[in-house]
Structure formats: C-alpha cells, structure tokens
Amino acid sequence: MAEISVDFNRPVVVGRELEYIQQAIDNGHISGDGPFTKKCHAFFEQELGVPKALLTTSCTHALEMSAILLEIQPGDEVVIPDFTFVSTVNAFVLRGAEPVFLDVRPDTLNLDESKLEALITPRTKAIVPVHYAGVGCEMDTIMEIARRRHIAVVEDNAHGLFGKYKGKYLGTFGSMASQSFHETKNFTSGEGGALLINDPALVERAEIIREKGTNRSRFFRGQVDKYTWVDIGSSYLPSDILAAFLLAQLEQREKIQRHRKQVWELYYAGLKDWANTHDVQLPFVPDGCEQSYHMFYLLMPNLELRQKLIAYLRERGVYSVFHYLPLHLSDMGQRFDGKIGDCPVTERASDQLIRLPFHNSLTSTEQEQVIDLLHEFPF
C-alpha cells in the first residue's frame, strides 16, 4: 500500500498571486493602501454590500481596532463565547475590559443565545459572537437583545467569510466584523485580516486608527493639505504585496468555495453512519444557515478517545488537530475568576473536538484515505 501523507493544512497558489505580486513591485507601491489593497476593499464592499472594508494585518488587529472604535474603557464588560481563539477576548482586555465568558450551544458550538441576556449588566459594552466553523450564530436573537439593551455587536467572522444567516452575509450584522486571512483560512495572504464596518459613523475614525492615529488617508484623498497626529492608533495596514496575494485568492472565490463544499460533503457522507455507530458527533448546520465550509470536525465521545485518534492518525501519516481550550480556564481566564464547571459545554467540546485535514488542495483520494482510517479506528 502507498505510504499515506495528508497535511492538515497546505497553502497553495490558486490563481494570479505571483503575477500580482510582481505587478505590485512594478507599480512602485508595496507599502500599505496601494492599488491592490484598494481592489480588495472594493471587492468586499461590492460582494458583501458593506459600507466600508479595511484590510488589516490580522483578524486580531481588526478586533483591536473595533475595541478602540467602541471606546472600550477599564471596567467595561464584553460578552464573548468561551470557545474561541484568544484574540476575540484579548483585543478587548487590552483596552481594560473585563471578559464575560458565555458558554456555547452543544450543536453548533456557537455562543448560546438563550443564556446571553442573563449575563448582561449595565457595564456590558459589547457582545462578540464568533461564527464557529463559518456556521452563523443565532443573529436574530443576538441582535434583538443588543438593540434592546443598547449594546454594540462585533462579529468575529474569522471563519465565516461568504457564509450566510437567513440569506444575509455573516459579518454584516454587527456594527463591525473582523475577518482573518491567516494561512489556515479559506482565503489567505499568509497573515492578514479585515475590518468590515457596517456603521458608517465609524469609518473616518477607523481610517485614522489604522494609520497610526493620523489623518493620512484624508491627506492622500486631498481632503487636507498635511497630515498629523489626531487620535490614538497603530500600524494596522498590510503591505500591498499581501493584498496582491489576497486579491488573487478572492478572485477564485467560486472555485475555492466549490472545492471546499465538496470536501465537507465527502467527509460528511463518508462518516455519517460511522459517527452514529460510535457516538461521534458531526458538525450541525441549522436551517437558514449557509456555512462557509471552513472546517470539518468530529466530537469524539471523550478526551481519551480524541487523543488516541489524533495519535492513531499521526502514526499513519494523517495530521489532525484539536482546537480551542476553554478561555475561562486559561491562566488569564482564571484571573477573571474562571472556574471549572462555569462553561460545561465548552469544557466538553474542547476535550472532544478533532479537526480533520481541510484545505484548498486536499484531494478526494487523500480524503478517502482519512475516511478509511477512521473506519478502522479501534474504539
């Protein structure tokens, strides 16, 4: 039998990436906000219908910008799902916020909207839903609570570009949303991100914060005759070389999404019966959600079997990974009073979840190898 080697992730050129990078150099503009960055902005604004998109150096930085834009102050509370990446919470803690960890739903692993309102206090400044695996959170309920209680919503849409909830793109519900173009994402520039701004009142300040606290964007548009320090900010804009790479990926949207849908569906079809037999939970996509096909995960019956499965696959040349650790039990989470048992669904999912290889060049042969190995796994 041929030796098996299946990467968890493998970045690939899908279109005109290298040609566009050369063009960026030929343009004589490889710093930020060059022609390719502008094309990426226009792409998101047209495709998603958002008033303003700004490329950033990462999703983390887009979240940091959103925290500055919301004027998060020490003592403010921010409600975030417990099952997410560190940056979702850290961006707000950097501004002095206290995180309030909300447990997730056992079916989608998105924040449990039925427990949201009970966590809101007069100090709650923002709710940050994460569309886990690119499956939309229950945005109707979340937005209704946020509106009624006058709280901002920032969607962490790191996984969910082009996913939809009830026909509307993820990332277009909150006043802002963050995107990631890290190498594991559907569309990548190696490292990268974007801030989608749905509230036009935030646009001008966002441009300033992204440009080191200066009004340089207005200067380049000829709106002021010199630029200067007008606010706090940092350097959140990526090189036009990265934007060139990203634009080439975005242009292949249909091809990439079609392939990822096939990958997801092949895993699902190949593992449905096996999962039923062995008490393994597969991803769930509620009615009304069109997922972004970002990942495929399994929830094994317990931690021991999850660890055993990762090792079993690894010994056979297949690389699979676990995902987030419960934030409330991290060193930082415990400083904010996190205790075992606070978020039981997250604690369980974190132990049980395994992500299967999933990337833009994964072949059906590789997937069949993974599926066959899973069928042979000794429980």
Q: Is 259 in the site for ligand PLP (CB under 6 A)?
A: no
Nearer to ligand PLP (CB atom), residue 153 or residue 371: 153
Q: Is 160 in the site for ligand PLP (CB under 6 A)?
A: no
The DSSP code for 165 is E
Q: Is 158 in the site for ligand PLP (CB under 6 A)?
A: yes
Task: Name residues contacting ligand PLP, limited to 67-96 (CB under 6 A).
Answer: 84-85, 87-88
CA distance 331 to 337: 10
Task: Name residues contacting ligand PLP, limited to 31-70 (CB under 6 A).
Answer: 58-60
- Which residues in the chain belong to E strands, given as ranges? 52-56, 77-81, 98-102, 124-127, 152-156, 164-165, 168-169, 176-180, 193-197, 289-290, 297-299, 353-355
Q: Is 9 in the site for ligand PLP (CB under 6 A)?
A: no
- Interface with ligand PLP (CB under 6 A), residue from 41, 105, 182, 216: 182
Percent helix, strand, coil in the chain (nearest 5)?
A: 40, 15, 40
Name 267's Cβ contacts closer than 8 Å, sequence gap at least 6.
296, 356, 367, 370, 371
Q: Is 208 in the site for ligand PLP (CB under 6 A)?
A: no
Q: Is 210 in the site for ligand PLP (CB under 6 A)?
A: no
Q: Is 110 in the site for ligand PLP (CB under 6 A)?
A: no
- Interface with ligand PLP (CB under 6 A), residue from 108, 110, 180, 214: 180
Please write down the HEC assignment for all residues of 61-120: HHHHHHHHHCCCCCCCEEEEECCCCHHHHHHHHCCCCEEEEECECCCCCCECHHHCHHHC
The DSSP code for 53 is E
Q: Is 155 in the site for ligand PLP (CB under 6 A)?
A: no
Beta carbon of residue 105, minimum distance to ligand PLP (angstroms, whole number)? 16
Beta carbon of residue 208, minimum distance to ligand PLP (angstroms, whole number)? 21
Residues in contact with ligand PLP, counted by CB under 6 A, come to a total of 13
Binding site for ligand PLP (CB under 6 A): 58-60, 84-85, 87-88, 130, 156, 158, 180, 182, 193
